[in-house]
Structure 1
Amino acid sequence: MSLRAWLAATMGVLALLTLMAATLLVVLTSVLDRSAETLGTAVEGIRVSEELEVGMLAHDRMVHEGPERLPRGPGGLTRFELEASLYRQIGELRRIASTEAEREQLDAVRADVDVYVSAQRDPGRAEREAGPALDDALNGLEQVIAINVERARLARLQAERWNDMADSAGVMLCGLLLLGVLIVSLLLRRVAFQPLRDISQAMRRFGEGSKRARAPEAGPAELRDMARTFNEMANSLAHQQEQQLAFLAGVAHELRNPLSALKLSTALSDRGRAQLTPERMERTLALVGRQVGRLDRMVGDLLDATRIEAGRLELRPEVRDACELTRDVVELYRSGDTGHVLRLEVPGWPVLVRVDPARLEQVLHNLISNALKYSPAGSTVEVAVRREQDAAVLCVTDQGIGISEEEKRLLFAPFQRAGNARQRAPGVGLGLSVARRIVEGHGGSLDVVSQPGHGSVFRVRLALTEVASRAEEGSGLASPPDTLH
């Protein structure tokens, strides 16, 4: 499981708990609001009912005592104003009534009030009907008050019940949140912090010189990728260090032969030794010359590799004929005894490229020298220059030991040499690396086609100049068969 997915799941659970708490709070607020509204309505109903009772009793007293004793009712109202106030209060009670039973009871109270008021206005009916109607109206209002009291009690009980439920749910949610935070902290420490600490400690040990230190690939996918990347980097650095040590060992080994030859030449100049024959002197000087040449090539490759890695490879390009440059290099090798058949194949017209002549000759020297070193004595090494579309292709083909697919991947890396190459010829593994970087510096490419036991073909591809393209188009020549020289 990835760290992102784990964190998303954790945040989702915490967000769900938070949403549940917010929903509970909204529901509790709504219930308490309705309960408060019900309580307010019930209290208002009780208040109006009691005022209506007071008003009816005041009206009855006003009627019996006469205007000279009590000219005004409650609030300074006259008898008729008080009667109108009674009906308004009944209407108000009817409006705020919440149940059908309460509305029916108020309708009965209104009917009793109608009987009471009409009886008070008729002296013949007042003694007989007014008193019972007043009692019935007052009893009805008491029932309305009882209904509102019961409604208020139920609303209060409901509010208390929801409040208790909210308290319990709140405590439970708080406990879940605290438990969730605790679990997340423990899991985060185990899933993320511990792997990070292990990676950090591995990096610290590696930085302090423990080259075998590796980070455990544990925890979420991102941390496993981080540990894997660090381990690959550590392996690569360890491999590079091994290669550097092998390179230093190879350089030291390669320096022994030139130094031995130089030591021998110093010994020859010792006057105390017997005079050497001219033939032996000539062979010794030739040996010294070859070893000094090897030393010079080795130092040159090292300098070129250093310049390339520092980005200071200097090129002085000019338009030159690739055929001419290749012919010069091949003739140089033909002048010596290589023990091989060196064949040159070039077209019958110039193949113009924009290159640094010295650097391109250095590349050709390296490729031809390798072909000669790794080919059996008496075999043929072919050097060809061809034109393919808008590119000049320089090919060096040998009949040597060949290169496997695994060795090809490291063939052009600095200080890399195949096992069979190390056995066949000395070197430090810089020539092909420098050659490819020189060709790439010209905007070209250097690749190889090879199989073990079937030789190799190295191809240098360079862009043709516009001058070459126009010259060939103007001549009207198609590419004739390659000419052997």
Structure 2
Amino acid sequence: MSLRAFFSTVVGGLVLLTIISATLLVVLTTALERMTSTLSESVEGVRQAEELEVDLLVHSRLLASPDTPMVADPSRGRTPPQLESDLRRQMVEMHAIASTDEERQTVTQVQQQVYAYLAAQHAPLGPSVSQAQHEATAMVSLDASLRSLERLIQINVDQAQEARQRATRWSETANLMGLVLGLLVLATLGLVVFWLGRFALRPVTALRSAMAGFGRGGRHLRAPEEGPSELRDMARTFNEMADSLTHQQEQQLAFLAGVAHDLRNPLSALKLSTALTGRGELTPERMQRTLSLVRRQVARLDRMVGDLLDATRIEAGKLELQPEVRDTRELARSVVELYQSNESGHALDLVMPDTPVLVRADPARLEQVLTNLVSNALKYSPSGSRVEVAVRGDAGHVVLAVTDQGIGMSPEDLQGLFIPFQRAGNAKQRAPGVGLGLSVSRRIIEAHGGRIEVESRPGQGSVFRVHLARVSSGPPEPSAPSDSEEEPGAEGSSAVH
């Protein structure tokens, strides 16, 4: 699991717990509010029922004797008519706050019985109805009203107790859910700490130790590729970097050994030449051969040192160019004439158009690239084979091609052809060198905004093509024929042998 997925899961779980907690809190608050309302209505119902009982008893006491004059309520100063008005109002209010069917039915029954009581109190006395009968009828209605009110009070008390029990159950449920949610949060935090410590911090510590040890010189140290995917990617990247640095160090050591070996060969030749000049009679022919050998070895040393200096300047970003508009035909001709004068034993041909092919480039650097390509073509071609240097151009591009009939290269060799200090196996056996010439040449051409392409097959030779932007000097020239169609000395081109 990746760190992103883990933290997304943890955050999602915490958000889910938060939503559940908020939902439970809303439900609990709503239930408690409803139960509080029920309790309030029950208390109000009990209060009104008891008040109605008191008013009925007071009214009955004030009207206990028909011969007694109507007096006011001693507690509130109300007269019997005012008490009757309050009784009717209270019954309407009791009916309005009744919340259950049983409570509403009981309130309706109380209203009927109270109205019957008041009707009996106000019924006129006649010859057939005695005072005792009148009072008995009123007392029966009064007792029935009081019993109904007691039942109404009991109903409200039962409702209040039930609401209280529900509130208690909800409170216990809320406490249990709160405890469960708290334990879940603690378990989630514990899981996060455990997971981070076991699967994240340990790989980070191992990676840090590997990096610190590698920096102190432990080139064999590698980080374990374990833990979250991000840390595995970091460890894999570090291991690849460590392998690359170790490989580069091995290449540098091999390069230093190769440089020492390649420098020793011309130095040994120079040492031998100087030793021979001090022995015996020095004839002109011998002097000429010795000087020729010295010149070749000095040129070889100069070229090796020049490649090293150029590689250093390029890596430091200090390669300086002095571009100017030059005819690539003249540059190619000077390189070909240089190697033709060395009597290398190869047929060196120059193919170029009759009109100028101008580029804006540093002539010394461009000549260095051509010299390197031609020198490689001669070194890796059998004696007597043909090497062709061609200059071609169209409206916007210039192509300098060097074609040989040498040993060629495999696709695997082509992949590392322009890597510094790297040489193909067959190239190491055929000619000495440090493996910088092609790398330096490519960087020089890229600094001019161009590119180098190569085509090669083992045993069939190679073709190196340098592509540069052309500087227009008039109407564009027609494109030259391809390599397969163009022959040395063909019409529209000149060949130098």
Question: TM-score scaled by structure 1?
Answer: 0.94
CA distance in structure 1 between the aligned counterparts of 2:103 and 2:277, rounded to whole angstroms: 138
Match of 1:13 in 2: 13
CA distance in structure 1 between the aligned counterparts of 2:197 and 2:18, rounded to whole angstroms: 23
Match of 2:495 in 1: 484
Deviates more, 1:5-14 or 1:458-467: 5-14
After TM superposition, give the deviation of residue 292 of structure 1 in Å. 1.1
CA distance in structure 1 between the aligned counterparts of 2:370 and 2:354, rounded to whole angstroms: 20
CA distance in structure 1 between the aligned counterparts of 2:269 and 2:449, rounded to whole angstroms: 41
Per-residue CA deviations over 1:440-479 (Å, capped at 9, x if unaligned) read: 1111111111111111100000111122xx2446xx9998
- Judged with a 3 Å threshold, the aligned counterparts in structure 2 of structure 1 residues 340 and 284 are, in CA distance, closer, same or farther, namely same
Per-residue CA deviations over 1:155-177 (Å, capped at 9, x if unaligned) read: 11111111112222222222222
Preserved contact between residue 62 and residue 73 of structure 1 (Cα < 8 Å): no
Match of 1:81 in 2: 82
The answer to whether structure 1 residue 45 and structure 2 residue 53 are counterparts is no
CA distance in structure 1 between the aligned counterparts of 2:366 and 2:301, rounded to whole angstroms: 21
SS in 1 for 2:156: helix
The answer to whether structure 1 residue 151 and structure 2 residue 145 are counterparts is no
- Judged with a 3 Å threshold, the aligned counterparts in structure 2 of structure 1 residues 430 and 296 are, in CA distance, closer, same or farther, namely same
Match of 1:116 in 2: 117
1:219 to 227, 235, 243: 227
After TM superposition, give the deviation of residue 114 of structure 1 in Å. 0.8
Q: How does 1:273-422 map to 2 (within 5 A)?
A: 273-422=279-428
CA distance in structure 2 between the aligned counterparts of 1:277 and 1:57, rounded to whole angstroms: 161
- Judged with a 3 Å threshold, the aligned counterparts in structure 2 of structure 1 residues 86 and 342 are, in CA distance, closer, same or farther, namely same
SS in 1 for 2:421: coil
Match of 1:33 in 2: 33
SS in 2 for 1:72: coil
Return the letter of the residue paired with 1:383: V
CA distance in structure 1 between the aligned counterparts of 2:101 and 2:211, rounded to whole angstroms: 81
CA distance in structure 2 between the aligned counterparts of 1:11 and 1:257, rounded to whole angstroms: 70
Match of 1:460 in 2: 466
Q: Provide structure 2 residue ranges, at least 5 long, that are not aligned to the other structure.
A: 126-132, 482-490
Q: How does 1:52-63 map to 2 (within 5 A)?
A: 52-63=52-63
Preserved contact between residue 392 and residue 480 of structure 2 (Cα < 8 Å): no
After TM superposition, give the deviation of residue 390 of structure 1 in Å. 1.5
After TM superposition, give the deviation of residue 260 of structure 1 in Å. 2.0
1:175 to 167, 170, 183: 183
SS in 2 for 1:443: coil
After TM superposition, give the deviation of residue 402 of structure 1 in Å. 1.1
Preserved contact between residue 344 and residue 384 of structure 1 (Cα < 8 Å): yes
SS in 2 for 1:64: coil
After TM superposition, give the deviation of residue 202 of structure 1 in Å. 1.2
Per-residue CA deviations over 1:231-261 (Å, capped at 9, x if unaligned) read: 1111111111111111111111111123223
Preserved contact between residue 38 and residue 159 of structure 2 (Cα < 8 Å): yes
Q: CA RMSD in A?
A: 2.0
Return the letter of the residue paired with 2:318: R
Per-residue CA deviations over 1:348-380 (Å, capped at 9, x if unaligned) read: 211111111111110000000000000111111
1:229 to 219, 222, 237: 237
CA distance in structure 1 between the aligned counterparts of 2:280 and 2:328, rounded to whole angstroms: 52
Preserved contact between residue 58 and residue 74 of structure 1 (Cα < 8 Å): no
Preserved contact between residue 70 and residue 80 of structure 2 (Cα < 8 Å): no
- Judged with a 3 Å threshold, the aligned counterparts in structure 2 of structure 1 residues 459 and 243 are, in CA distance, closer, same or farther, namely same
Preserved contact between residue 449 and residue 458 of structure 1 (Cα < 8 Å): yes
After TM superposition, give the deviation of residue 77 of structure 1 in Å. 2.2
Match of 1:132 in 2: 140
CA distance in structure 2 between the aligned counterparts of 1:112 and 1:305, rounded to whole angstroms: 118
Q: What is the number of equivalent residue pairs in this alignment?
A: 479
Preserved contact between residue 385 and residue 405 of structure 2 (Cα < 8 Å): yes
Over the matched positions of the two proteins, sequence identity in percent amounts to 58
Question: TM-score scaled by structure 2?
Answer: 0.92
SS in 1 for 2:11: helix
After TM superposition, give the deviation of residue 280 of structure 1 in Å. 2.7
Preserved contact between residue 454 and residue 465 of structure 2 (Cα < 8 Å): yes
Preserved contact between residue 73 and residue 79 of structure 1 (Cα < 8 Å): no
Return the letter of the residue paired with 1:30: T
After TM superposition, give the deviation of residue 188 of structure 1 in Å. 2.1
Preserved contact between residue 445 and residue 460 of structure 1 (Cα < 8 Å): yes
Return the letter of the residue paired with 1:322: T
Preserved contact between residue 58 and residue 73 of structure 1 (Cα < 8 Å): no
Match of 2:446 in 1: 440
After TM superposition, give the deviation of residue 266 of structure 1 in Å. 4.6
Q: Provide structure 1 residue ranges, at least 5 long, that are not aligned to the other structure.
A: none
